[in-house]
Structure 1
Amino acid sequence: METFELDELIHEQIKAFCQLGDEHLESGNFKAAIDQYNLAWELIPEPKNDWEAATWVLAAIGDACFQGEFFTSAKEALEYAMTCPDAVGNPFLHLRLGQVLYEKDETDRAADELMRAYMAAGDEIFDNDDPKYFAFLKTRAVI
């Protein structure tokens, strides 16, 4: 997959919106975080999934939606992220997508994504989240 580099000014604007989003996310203001990440998303040129920035902006949107329990929006963002550069194989993206799928009762796909995260990063990737996700994975695979 060919990837492109953004104009430096646009890249800096995207990073600034994402930094504000990160600050809102850290304070638990999920909707404000998502708003900032969406502003960053709007700056990415079409076709958006050609750009590396799309991967990390969608990861941020998906993460904020997951943490805010907006699971349908999280699923949409994370599934689209998987079409972007360097997404497949990214342990964090597989983890979040697996968690979202679990929450939406798509357990077969959830197990697959959680296993991808586990295989890429080990059980440590589950350390900062609810233990139910790793416990679920253990019901689907010998770990």
Structure 2
Amino acid sequence: MELKEVTYEHIVELSEEANALFEAQDFDGAIKKFKEALEIIPKPKFTWEASAWILTSIGDVYFYLNDYSKAKNYFYDAFNCPGGLNNPYLLLRLGQVLFETHDEEKAKEYLLRAYLLKAGEIFKEEDPKYLKLILAII
């Protein structure tokens, strides 16, 4: 489904504001703006592709704050939205939070999927410990 253009533009605007706050290291402000954008999406929220990238963005902020439990919840929610299932970045982040919360078997599954979708390129900027986890199975 596609959002109304005016709704989509407002969501993009709020997301850009949230990204600017994130870059300025105002993490609470970024989360607040992303959640504001999420509120604009019609219900049921999990049927919209825009929900996937907003939820991923919220999870990403929590990931950078090392709040892996909250990040994991947002990443799982994003995973269940259209476009979430095969999003390499989301798969990477989900694998990373699973690794950080000591669920290495599930982490391997998501990290491997991210690796296969992006031919390993997605790991270039990441801590090598994540790639090391799946090296034996690739």
TM range (shorter): over 0.9
Report the counterpart of residue 115 of structure 2 in structure 1.
Answer: 118
Q: Is 1:131–2:110 an aligned residue pair?
A: no
Q: Is 1:43–2:40 an aligned residue pair?
A: yes
Provide the secondary structure at the position in 1 that maps to 2:102: coil
Per mean C-alpha deviation after superposition, the further-off stretch among 33-42 and 20-29 is 20-29
Contact 1:21 1:33 in 2 (8 A): yes
TM-score normalised by length of structure 1: 0.90
- Rounded Cα–Cα distance in structure 1 between residues aligned with 2:119 and 2:51: 26
Task: Give the counterpart of 2:11 among 8, 14, 20.
Answer: 14
Report how many aligned residue pairs link the two structures: 138
Task: Output aligned runs, 1:1-143, within 5 Å.
Answer: 4-138=1-135, 141-143=136-138
TM-score normalised by length of structure 2: 0.93
Provide the secondary structure at the position in 2 that maps to 1:112: helix
What RMSD over aligned residues (CA atoms) do the two structures have, in Å? 1.2
Q: Name the amino acid aligned to 2:113.
A: R
State the 1:142 CA deviation: 3.4
Question: For residues 28 and 122 of structure 1, do their structure 2 counterparts lie closer, same or farther at Cα, with a shift above 3 Å needed?
Answer: farther
- Rounded Cα–Cα distance in structure 2 between residues aligned with 1:31 and 1:131: 28
List runs of 5+ in structure 2 lacking aligned partners.
Answer: none
Per mean C-alpha deviation after superposition, the further-off stretch among 104-113 and 20-29 is 20-29
List runs of 5+ in structure 1 lacking aligned partners.
Answer: none
Contact 1:25 1:33 in 2 (8 A): yes
